[in-house]
Amino acid sequence: MTTIGVVGADRGIAYCIATQLHERGDEVIAACLGDGENLARQGIQVEPEVDVTSDIAVQRLATRMGTRSVRLDWLLHVAGVLGLDELGAIDYDDVRRQFEINAIGPLRTVEALRDLLADDAKVGIVTSRVGSLGDNGSGAMYAYRMSKAAANMVALNLHHDLSPRGISVLALHPGMVATDLTKDYPGQHAYIQPEEAAAGLIRNMDELTVKTSGRFQHANGEYLPW
């Protein structure tokens, strides 16, 4: 049985990832900001009150899992936040908040849990193609773009640092997904549902190997530019 940690599983894409993995028979450990009661009712193991901006909360998670001798085959960091801004109206406190959650959060979590990863484990960090330098054709969204670009660098750095252990790392873009996160996103887009995005991200992780590690992949399978 594959043991999979999903961080940020309270709702949206991560919630769907946790439930789909559980339904197919994987052992899921769902790290939630809240109590995760809706996941626990389904028989999913929940780690509550995991705030990825808190060193203390993340270290407590690592200690609890270590005490139980958990060995993670996958670690998926999905927790994130989206805030909109434009030049001339940038809230720098919010820039810092988005960096703390979107970029420092996955680094903090993977670093804390790295000793619990199996030597052939897979790590997925859900980021966004708006963090791609090569794909930016519109500007604006400074905080979100910058924090996701930093998250992409976290994923690539982790690939280099963890690959000697046989651990594969992938930066993941879920697509334009209809969630609370994107409800105020500007423009007209062909949104997909969280269940479809989750299925695509799980498929990417299933297919991830040491040879394809260190890349940036859309839920539809397409590889994206950094």
In a domain? residue 113: yes
Evaluate whether 138 touches 186 at the Cβ level (below 8 Å).
no
Q: CB-based contacts of 68: which residues, under 8 Å, 6+ apart?
A: none
The SS3 assignment for 214 reads coil
CB atoms within 10 A of CB 218: 17
Q: What is the pLDDT of residue 111?
A: 98
In a domain? residue 83: yes
Q: Which regions of the chain are under pLDDT 50?
A: none
Report the sign of the C-alpha dihedral through residues 59, 64, 69, 75, in that order: negative
Half-sphere exposure of 86 (CA within 13 A, CB side): 3
CB atoms within 10 A of CB 221: 10
Q: What is the pLDDT of residue 179?
A: 56
In a domain? residue 223: no
Q: In the chain, how many domains are there?
A: 1
The parent domain of residue 144 ranges over 3-218
Residue reference for tokens 């979100």:
144
The SS3 assignment for 72 reads strand
In a domain? residue 225: no
Q: What is the pLDDT of residue 184?
A: 52
Q: CB-based contacts of 154: which residues, under 8 Å, 6+ apart?
A: 103, 106, 107, 110, 125
In a domain? residue 224: no
Q: What is the pLDDT of residue 197?
A: 95
Q: What is the pLDDT of residue 35?
A: 97
DSSP 182: G
In a domain? residue 226: no
In a domain? residue 167: yes
Provide the CATH number for the domain around residue 12.
Answer: 3.40.50.720
Q: What is the pLDDT of residue 192?
A: 81
Instruction: Please state the φ and ψ torsions of residue 35, each to the nearest 5 degrees.
Output: -90, -15
CB atoms within 10 A of CB 124: 26
In a domain? residue 137: yes
